[in-house]
């Protein structure tokens, strides 16, 4: 999962302090793995260095949480590209996909495009495995089948999520 | 694609008030294996039936080898189906009173081939899909996987240009399903037949060259999605 992109996606809805950003992330995407403060600030300083966010107002006082961060045009472009670039098909990537779908819905982009791009990438990987399986020996077949069943499970999740986009959109907006 | 064989454009079809197809379209090139994917009730079977000339759409066109299906008479259309198309369905397509050999020979017999020649060809096809042993049995006496292989043999015996397969592994366990897909796609490729493969299973669709997705009666081809 790309935490930098997820933070950028959250900043698209408006500038936030580092602490707010961590809370928003944990609430939506961090269920069993909340972000560490250090991780938030090191990610933000990398985004700052790369021109994807900028400081938007510094409040007086001490402590690292004085700064507010806003996304830049370059940052918006970066999020948009990330959303429609499929994840490398591999087992257990639902958290990255879930994050992308939610951020697409939050920013008014097409979540269906996100899911479609992923489906294309998954099916491509499954075609390659199917071809390999047909040329290989029994051991190859078993290994390929294992991967194929898992990728198929991802695809079933993609299909189900596509069917639930309207509901999910309503929930994300509320 | 240069050698497009079959094209459906802007197809619409309703059953009562429900639109089953709402502007669907797809094309198939000679020898190509195209998967039609989508959730249950999305219109996949109706799309296949329209492309195969089994169901007439309310609007839109289906053109096969430069000829529009709706412009043909019923007789011409069924001759086309018998001569150029082959069909594999989920189940229930074999005639229960006939032996498996007679079932495979049937499309040739209907096309006027004498019994001996038809049964010789049928026997060869049963061998190609590796179910020689069921030749003299009736469909009710063979397993689901064997029955589907017989159906594949029957679809291919006339050397069709297009095979329409609607959930061909839908009633099979994983292993028999794999076997049927390997044989179906393998023999289609050997004979140069195109395949329109309707399925809701990704592992089955993975045998195709590309996919078309149907949702709510509309098609979406990934290369045109954005
Ligand atoms: N012969 C029919 N009579 C009435 N409704 C039908 C008939 N065939 C299909 N439908 C309806 O049309 C829609 C699409 O069906 P179908 O093409 O069979 O979908 P799929 O094959 O994707 O499951 C469904 O709502 C289905 O109930
Ligand atoms: Mg169907």
pLDDT, tens digit, for every residue of B4-44? Answer: 999 999 999 999 988 999 999 999 999 999 999 998 999 99
Rounded Cα distance between B122 and A4, Å, is: 62
pLDDT of residue A140: 86
pLDDT tens-digit series, residues B41-58: 999 999 999 999 999 999
Closest CA relative to residue B51, chosen from B177, B195, B226: B195
Contact status of A84 with chain B (Cβ, < 8 Å): yes
Low-confidence residues of chain B: pLDDT under 70: 1-2, 222-226
Q: Tell me what pLDDT residue A60 has.
A: 63
Q: Within 13 A of A39's CA, how many CA atoms are on the CB side? A: 14
Amino acid B121: pLDDT: 97
What's the pLDDT at B224?
A: 41
Q: Is B42 in the pocket of ligand 1 (CB under 6 A)?
A: yes
pLDDT at residue B225, rounded to an integer: 38
Query: What is the pLDDT, as a whole number, of residue B181?
Result: 95
- The tens digit of pLDDT for each residue in A17-74 reads 999 999 999 988 887 788 998 999 999 999 999 999 999 877 666 565 678 999 999 9
CB pairs under 8 A between A and B: 40
| Alpha carbon distance B80, B180 (integer Å) | 26
Looking at residue A30, its pLDDT comes to 80
Partners of A150 on chain B (C-beta within 8 Å) are none
Residue B85 CA to ligand 2 center (angstroms) comes to 19
CB atoms within 10 A of CB B210: 17
Chain-centroid distance of CA A87 in Å reads 9
> A130 vs B206: CB contact, 8 Å cut-off?
yes
pTM across the whole model: 0.85
State ipTM: 0.87
Contact B27, B7 (CB under 8 A): yes
Q: How far apart are CA A110 and CA A112, in angstroms?
A: 5
pLDDT in tens, A75-120: 999 999 999 898 888 766 667 888 999 999 999 899 999 999 999 9
- Give residue A90's pLDDT: 73
| Chain A CB within 8 Å of residue B167 CB | no
- Mutation test of the interface with chain A: which of B184, B186, B206, B221, choosing the one with the most A Cβ atoms within 10 A? B206
- B211/A162 Cβ within 8 A: no
B202/A84 CB distance under 8 A: no
Q: Among the CATH numbers 3.30.465.10, 3.40.50.300, 3.40.50.720, 3.40.630.10, which is that of B4-220?
A: 3.40.50.300
Residue B166 CA: nearest ligand 1 atom is 21
The conformational region for residue A14 under phi > 0 = left, psi -120 to 50 = alpha, else beta, is left
- Is the Cβ pair B213, A119 closer than 8 Å? yes
Any A CB within 8 A of B222 CB: yes
Rounded to the nearest whole angstrom, what is the distance from the C-alpha of residue A164 to the centroid of ligand 1? Answer: 21
Alpha carbon of A163: minimum distance to chain B alpha carbons (Å): 9
């Amino acid at each position: 999962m790309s935490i930098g992109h997820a933070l950028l996606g959250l900043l698209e809805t408006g500038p936030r302090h580092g602490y707010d950003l961590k809370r928003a992330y944990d609430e939506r995407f961090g269920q069993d793995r909340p972000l560490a403060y250090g991780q938030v600030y090191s990610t933000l300083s990398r985004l700052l260095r790369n021109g994807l966010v900028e400081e938007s107002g510094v409040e007086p006082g001490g402590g690292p949480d004085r700064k507010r961060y806003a996304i830049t045009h370059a940052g918006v472009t970066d999020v948009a590209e990330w959303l429609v670039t499929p994840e490398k098909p591999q087992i257990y990537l639902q958290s990255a996909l879930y994050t992308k779908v939610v951020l697409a819905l939050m920013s008014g982009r097409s979540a269906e495009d996100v899911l479609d791009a992923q489906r294309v990438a998954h099916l491509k990987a499954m075609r390659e495995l199917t071809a390999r399986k047909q040329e290989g020996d029994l051991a190859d077949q078993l290994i390929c089948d294992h991967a194929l069943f898992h990728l198929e499970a991802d695809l079933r999740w993609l299909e189900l999520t596509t069917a639930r986009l309207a509901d999910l959109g309503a929930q994300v907006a509320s | 694609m240069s050698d497009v064989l079959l094209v459906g454009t802007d197809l619409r079809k309703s059953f009562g008030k429900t639109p089953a197809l709402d502007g669907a379209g797809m094309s198939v090139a000679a020898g190509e294996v195209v998967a039609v994917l989508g959730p249950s009730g999305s219109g996949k079977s109706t799309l296949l039936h329209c492309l195969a000339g089994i169901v007439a759409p309310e609007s839109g066109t289906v053109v096969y080898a430069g000829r529009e299906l709706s412009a043909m008479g019923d007789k011409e259309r069924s001759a086309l189906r018998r001569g150029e198309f082959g069909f594999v369905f989920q189940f229930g397509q074999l005639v229960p009173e006939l032996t498996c050999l007679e079932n495979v020979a049937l499309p040739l017999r209907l096309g006027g081939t004498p019994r001996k020649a038809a049964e010789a060809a049928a026997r060869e096809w049963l061998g190609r899909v590796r179910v020689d042993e069921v030749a003299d049995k009736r469909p009710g006496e063979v397993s689901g996987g064997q029955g589907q292989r017989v159906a594949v043999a029957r679809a291919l015996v006339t050397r069709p240009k297009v095979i329409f397969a609607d959930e061909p592994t839908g009633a099979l366990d994983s292993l028999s399903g794999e076997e049927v897909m390997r044989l179906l796609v393998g023999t289609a490729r050997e004979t140069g037949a195109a395949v329109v493969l309707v399925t809701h299973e990704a592992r089955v669709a993975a045998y195709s060259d590309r996919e078309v997705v149907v949702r709510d009666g509309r098609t979406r081809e990934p290369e045109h999605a954005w």
